[in-house]
Structure formats: C-alpha cells, structure tokens
Amino acid sequence: MRLLIVEDEERLARRLADSFESSGYAVDLALDGESAEIRLHAEEYDAAILDLGLPKIDGLTILKRCRSASNAVPILVLTARGSWHEKVEAIDAGADDYVVKPFQVEEVMARVRALIRRAAGQLQTVLSHGALTLDPRTAKVTLEGAPIRLTSLEYRVLSYLMHHGDRVVSQIELTEHIYAQDFERDSNTLEVFIGRLRRKLGASSIETVRGLGYRMGRP
C-alpha cells in the first residue's frame, strides 16, 4: 500500500514515514503544499495524510482542489488548530478524518488503516483469504496459523491484492501502489515477487488473469 505524507515539520514527517515504512507501506513525503499538489495529481496513493498549515499552498486549498478534480484518495487531515469550525470546514471540503496535534503516531496509523479498509470495501481489521491471513496492524502474515516470512515488497504486493479481494488488479496499478516515487520501478520485477509469493503461499494463491492482471486465487 502506498501513502503520501504532507507535513512541513520535517522531523514529524520523517517520524510518521519511518513508522509507516516499518509497517510495510511505501511512503512519499511532501514538505509544502505545492509539491503535495503535484504528487496528488501525478501519482496513485491508497491514502494521504495532509497537514492544513502548509507553506506555498495551504492544506484546505489542496483538499478542495483534489476533490474538485474527482480525486477520491482517502485523506486524513492533521491540524494544530483547535477551533471546531475549522475541523468542520475540512470535513465539508472532503477530508475523510482528522487528528489534532499533538497526537500519538499509533492513532494516526490506526485511522489510516481504517480509511484504506473502507476505501477497499473491507470491514474486518485482519484480512483473510481461506487459510491465509494478513494483519495490517503488525504486518504479519500467516498460513494455516503458521507465520510466513515475506520481504517488504512481497508484503506490499500481497497486502494490495488482499485488500482488493476478488478484483483483478492490473500490473500497472500494482506497480503504482507498491513503490515509493524515488524507487526505480520495474514491472518485470513484479512477476518475480508474484512467483516468490506462490512458492511461499501455494501455486494457486495468486491467479494470473491473462491480459488483465492478478487477483487472489480461490481459497
């Protein structure tokens, strides 16, 4: 899963990024509103964390422009502002949730996980597919109760496919959602990850739909 963090306090932005990366996310950072707007327009994200008090372009303007452009990415707003009407304004502008500074990183992570689940139509905290389970809270995968060790990119591939269940995910879409922007993307490498996952989870765990992409196999 791929995340955009927009926060001008670089230390806080890095702390959030480190926490999400250690939980298996691909993370892009933007330290001002201008670069954030460019990335939201050009890249695909599963969720975005957006501070309202940004240099160059404020977060509320970015939010309004994003929704006006029909970009439905789930957005969690961060704000140091305490007045209730600004929170209401952000929600009315299209924010899906908000957290007021100072906050616990664990709360932000839990809220982002919930936004991603809802956007993908998943109701359960722990994803399951037959005997296979994936817990986004701990980035742990088990098969018939036994833990499965995955690399970070193998985990991202599996997580994205499991979040989207029976839907066929194209190779391009999958590539967009497992790599951060500064990572060299190679769609051929994706086939290597799929092959590794099949060896670890079973040959029928991931189905290739010829000419369309991949989806989770029948449990």
Cis-peptide into 102, omega within 30 deg: yes
If phi > 0 it is left, if psi is from -120 to 50 it is alpha, else beta; for residue 70 that is left
Cα distances (angstroms) measured from residue 59 to each of 33, 40, 51, 148: 7, 12, 6, 40
**Alpha-carbon span 139 to 16, nearest angstrom:** 16
Last residue of a domain, one of 119, 150, 184: 119
Q: What is the pLDDT of residues 140-192, one digit of tens each?
A: 999 999 999 999 999 999 999 999 988 999 999 999 999 887 666 666 788 99
Residues 95, 148, single domain; the answer is no
User: What pLDDT was estimated at residue 166?
Assistant: 87
What pLDDT, on a 0 to 100 scale, did the predictor assign at position 84?
73
Per the structure, the complete domain to which residue 85 belongs is given by 2-119
Spans of the chain below 50 pLDDT: none
Distances (CA, A) of 143 to 34, 48, 54, 130: 44, 31, 44, 9
Same domain, 112 and 17: yes
Q: Give the pLDDT score at 181.
A: 76
Contact 154, 190 (CB under 8 A): no
34 in helix, strand or coil? helix
- Quick one: pLDDT at residue 86? 77
CA 10 to chain centre: 20
What is the crossing angle of helices 84-93 and 59-68, to 10°? 20
Q: How far is CA 98 from CA 75, 88, 114, 143, in A?
A: 8, 10, 12, 35
Rounded CA-CA distance 13/219 in Å is: 39
Last residue of a domain, one of 65, 98, 119: 119
Query: Do 97 and 161 sit in the same domain of this protein?
Result: no
pLDDT at 165: 87
pLDDT of residue 83: 66
Helix H or strand E segment including 135: strand 132-135
Structural domains of the chain, count: 2
The pTM of the full predicted model, rounded to 2 decimals, is 0.90
The domain boundary, picked from 119, 153, 168, lies at 119
Q: Is the dihedral of CA 159, 165, 170, 171 positive or negative?
A: positive
What CATH code is carried by the domain that includes residue 195?
Answer: 1.10.10.10
Provide the strand spans (E) within 20-131. Answer: 26-30, 47-51, 75-79, 97-100, 127-129
